Structure 1
Amino acid sequence: MEQQVNKQVIRKYLKGECSPSELQIMKLFLQREDAEQLIDQVWVEEWAAFEEAEISDQDIAIWKNRFTEERLQENSLPMSSGNKFFLLRYAAVWLTLILGVGIWYGITNLKRQETKIAAVTMFERVNANGQRVQVRLSDSSIVYLAGGSTLRYPSRFVGNTREIILHGEAFFEVAKNPKKPFIIHTGEIRTLVVGTSFRINAFKNKPFLVEVASGKVRIAHEQGNHETPLAVLIPGQSLSWKNNQAILGQINADDVSEWKNGRLVFNKATLREMATVFERWYNVDFIFKHQTKGQQHMTITLSAKVPLSDIMEVLAPTGKFSYKIQGRQVIIN
């Protein structure tokens, strides 16, 4: 009685995994008129499976070896010339499958690599005056971006560094990663950290300022491909860069941390400098009727959590001036 041949046996035969008894079964099966139809069905199913599966280079090599050693050997089964032609047809199909899978696998990997590279997108956050936002980067670092400032950063960090670009003012809480330094580019100044918190003030045509709340911060001046180290700061230290000169200073580390919560510390600042800060925080314009009043110096700590009118009520008697708020204009007499 003829034993039944199912798809599983056919698959084993095509893969060179048949036992001697199964080879004899296949020999008889190949004499049948419906053999080609059933093998066609197996072929379609196998191709569908190859399209869905992830194939390794090792698997492809194994299939090639099996094909070479078994499928092309005419002595693997004694058969008629007609059956030899029949099997050679499937040998050609199987070879096409192997080569197709190899090409498909290579293209798929290439597309994955291209997708991986293309997936890195540069974002730009632009804050108008009066806006303050918190930006969480892909490494879990947090940037508190001030009004009138711009931050450029990637969707994810690749390579050996974490690099961003800042124009304006921000407070940074950098996730620690000694193997992947965090670098902030601000014009010609480069700030490098591995895990720390600090504030940077880097507006165009204004002195650069960095103040450290925790950790260590390394500052360098960049000119083309040349880099000149300026300082390594620790908590409570600051660096100002103006007219190609670096000036080190001492500050209160708590004041630096609290900047993100609206604490504004002015130390011998002119009223005009203070007004510039208020313009960014409150989206207003200051007008000085007498320019000399703008040069008056003040030392004071304020909170930007309150309305601007409350701040002006404090400043006016201290600075001995009068003022008027008209819409978005603050007029200083």
Structure 2
Amino acid sequence: MTEKYQSYTAADFIQDDAFIQWAKSPDAAGDTFWKQIAVLYPHQKEVIAQARQIALNLAELSRPAYDEQEAGLIWAQISGQMEDAPVSAPVIRLGWLRYAAAAMVVLLTTWGIRHWYREPETLYAQRTRQLENVHEEINETGKERVVQLPDGSHVTLAQGSRISFPETMGGSKREVYLSGEAFFDVKRNPSQPFFVYAGELTTRVLGTSFTVRSFEKENVASVQVRTGSVSVAAHAPRKTQSVVLAPNQQVSFFRKEERLSMGLVKAPQPVIPQVELARFTFNNAPVSTIFDALSKAYGIEIVYDKEAVAACRLTSSVQEESLFEILGVICEAIEADYQVSGAKIRISDPHCN
């Protein structure tokens, strides 16, 4: 079972026999196992590296400075020269003294890490510690896990993530607290807005579907919208920023820079039924008509020069292609280029014969 390692501190690692054995005598199997742990729990990668260095330092401290047999011979010579002395000399075993000192260092280091080394308390811990009648769900499995909230909303919790929420969702608003990543499918209720608190980000919706990602040890937190619209606020020490997101838009919050950046999701999804999109067939249609239809189908603004494409006509149909694949085919046909600029798509340099 590897789940225990996701919450290990450095002190826990240096008391784990398997970890100590690998740190002191690494082999291929150990390298593979601990690399897998770092992949499963990315937030533990730095902790594992720190714990390994501590283990190596302690191993070096506990190494004998010289051969004990040689020390015994030296003491025998000294004893022989002192046979006539009235007081017998004590037997001093310097090697064992060094071992004892090293053992003491191990104990003090472990105790010090446990009692003096404390990671800063996360916003998730600060907030949930003050709640009453709260229920927490933790995904310690190797796959996504679906959690149903008291209001009927559904949350798909990613691996290594946790969420807390009241056992009942009465009052003027619904509130949940997230550490990690989750996809929310929120039951619409205009009279009771839904709030997600995830690190510095606060996401407010009425009823929609969206993804929030906010792992404490990652520099970037984000919100991606699939349907509906959401309001996102970033509460940083120096300033508070907010944006409103539409479908297929996302916002990223860069913690070190305390900066919000809006853009499009990597794989935009249609905001109309896929069946309806598949019926899009264009027979010698103006390219402007095609761009406008795609803009409506995906809820994304496509910016182009209407005069420059006025003479462009195209015969095309939409099947299983993604938005960017469709745009690639169109732009190749009219010898144009497209690029994502913020939350928009811009078409440039068309050449229509």
Please, what TM-score do these two structures have when normalized by structure 2? 0.36
Q: Which has the larger radius of gyration?
A: 1
Which one has a larger percent helix, Structure 1 or Structure 2?
Answer: 1
Please, what TM-score do these two structures have when normalized by structure 1? 0.38
